Structure 1
Amino acid sequence: MFGPAALRLAIFAAFATALLHLGPAQAADGFDFSPEQPGRIRTERNDAAIAAISPGFKFVTPGKFTVAVSPGGPPLATYATDAKTVIGADPDYALAVADSLGLTLELVPIAWIDWPLGLTSGKYDAVISNVGVTEQRKEKFDFSSYRQGLHGFFVKTDSAVTSIKEPKNAAGLRIIVGAGTNQERILLKWNDENVAAGLKPLELQYYDDEATSLVALASGRADVIVQPHAQLVFIAARDQNIKRVGTLSAGWPERSDVAITTRKGSGLADALTVATNGLIESGTYAKILDRWQLSEEALPKSETNPPGLPKS
């Protein structure tokens, strides 16, 4: 017989093995991870966006839009089943922007931590890789917003929890969150509000990795998991045992934007903003987000250098 500790280890090992066999690029309901990407959305050139490119701006490679992306995981960016083609919502969006500028897309896979140095050193024209706008980053980079930065509240599909929109909805719930994350910072503020209002406190739970967190949720040891929204969208489609009951802005109580990132003062940001607004107006933008089940993250319009998260 297993003791409690051994049983937990056995459950985790089985779960981790299942995840390894699945792999980051294996098909899940509603997602296509083939390298061919037959459903990829294309668009027409946008003359207004092209005209907005600064006359002094020079692309890394003439005729190409060179974009850095980090294949950190679906649905934002990952490797296809051929283990070399980068696919996902961010690559699709980069392709639509390249089309708008009348250019060929050149994707450069990178480690996420390397994007600032690579961009400032001129290795690529832009970064489209879930980079959030912050006031500190705006000192060195320009931004053209293209998505909301959201965290997701997800529960078991049979959970009695049906909606989390504000602090009081989370009162008394056992919530899995990453230590030191932005979502933990926000939930601690929610907890303070609830306690001050005489409501039950939140019970925050911390685990070493995603697999252990999902086991805790599935076993009923926790009520809710909070992670970046896109990650949980994919897990929900893959595992079919969790569902979204709410979203949380990364800049709560204000909106927090994700943006195309370019070198400060390079003269490209305004053109990318015009291109994005053209994609929004034509409906191409909505189709791209819907293709990767990220419609919840849609922006009403793109802005150049919108308000960012304040300096800590």
Structure 2
Amino acid sequence: MTHSLAMPRRVALGFVALVALAPSLAFAQQQFDLTSVQKAQPRAELVPEAVKLLGKDVKLAKPGTFTIATTGQRLPFGINATDNQRIIVGSEPDIGRLIADGLGLELEVVQVAWADWPLGVTSGKYDAAISNVTVTEQRKERFDFSTYRKDQLGFYVGSKSAIKEIAKPEDVAGLKVIVGSGTNQEQILLRWIKANEAKGLKTTEVQYFDDDVVLYLALESGRADAYFGPNGTLGFKSAQTGTTRLVGSFSGGWPEIAEIAVTTKKGAGLAEAITAVLNAQIKNGNYQKSLARWGLAPEAIEVSRTNPPGLPRS
């Protein structure tokens, strides 16, 4: 994923109450507040065991502050607030807020280009990157990880579609499926098609669109049967409009399991403390509320892990 250059911005955060989503395959239509007010944002109590894991010798980018880097350029992960471009709202700042609260720290969010977070984290300019970063074995050589979300792909159909579920590769046989060119999901879909054809099943018609408006018209009109793409962004749109629904979800590393994680400098002494905070929030329900309000409930994990197995080197 690439992002255009964005100037670093200091960000204050909060939340306005939204309709919660159940962690199911269907999204209910939902209104999202993108203003800077955000008064009802889930907040965390201090997590003493996490503070102990942090230790007194850990060096933060700024004393008393948890400084995170995020791109802030794509919903539901983060975007500049509609009434204040200096403030980022979204699911990634929410996770950062829960961690900062749990560690008894203030939160500072810095908006960066995607290409800039690795150097910023390793140099100590930022304590962590919370920017939809997938755990990989290659990245584990330089970074520590605390998982907080599944890296999921989703199959979405029009809300009136007769398709109830796409649960396995054979389910796409005979369908017309939209996918992004050159993406990981395209490679997965093409492997499925090849395997289905080898079994004598009907082929799948693959469709590509450069224009999202035309894409969704094709989906809603039935000219395409399903759209296979990143669950986070497609789920957010589904929750906003109610015109599509989720019928199947697969790991972004299929057949390998992929997870998104808070990314810290390797050996910085932050990961175990962050993991402890996240697990405390999973236990008390704050974590689930944070994801649900951005349409990300299907990507919730049951437990946060420090440095789990990552996607293998390609």
2:295 alignment counterpart:
293
1:60 aligns with 2:61: yes
Distance 2:57 2:187 in 1: 42
Which residues of 2 match residues 36-51 of structure 1 at below 5 A? 36-51=37-52
Deviations 1:206-257 (A, max 9, x none): 2224334223323433111111111111211333311111111102123210
Contact 2:31 2:240 survives alignment (8 Å): no
How many residue pairs are counted as aligned between the two chains?
A: 286
1:245 alignment counterpart:
247
- Aligned pair in 2 of structure 1 residues 120, 211: CA closer, same or farther (>3 Å)? farther
1:142 alignment counterpart:
144
Deviations 1:22-81 (A, max 9, x none): xxxxx9833221211022001101011111115432111101000111112221111221
Distance 2:73 2:226 in 1: 23
Which residues of 2 match residues 1-312 of structure 1 at below 5 A? 29-82=30-83, 83-312=85-314
Deviations 1:244-272 (A, max 9, x none): 11111102123210000001111111111
RMSD, matched Cα: 1.6
Distance 1:273 1:190 in 2: 35
Unaligned regions of 5+ residues in structure 1, if any? 1-26
Distance 2:131 2:199 in 1: 39
Shift of 1:204: 1.5
Identify which range, 176-185 or 144-153, moves more after superposition: 176-185
Shift of 1:121: 2.1
Contact 2:153 2:230 survives alignment (8 Å): yes
TM-score, with structure 1 as normaliser: 0.87
Distance 1:250 1:217 in 2: 22
TM-score, with structure 2 as normaliser: 0.87
Q: Report which of the two has the higher share of helix.
A: 1
Q: What amino acid maps onto 2:145 in structure 1?
A: F
Q: What amino acid maps onto 2:149 in structure 1?
A: R
Report the identity percentage: 48
Identify which range, 56-65 or 78-87, moves more after superposition: 78-87
Q: What amino acid maps onto 1:266 in structure 2?
A: A
Q: What amino acid maps onto 2:163 in structure 1?
A: V
Distance 1:98 1:114 in 2: 22
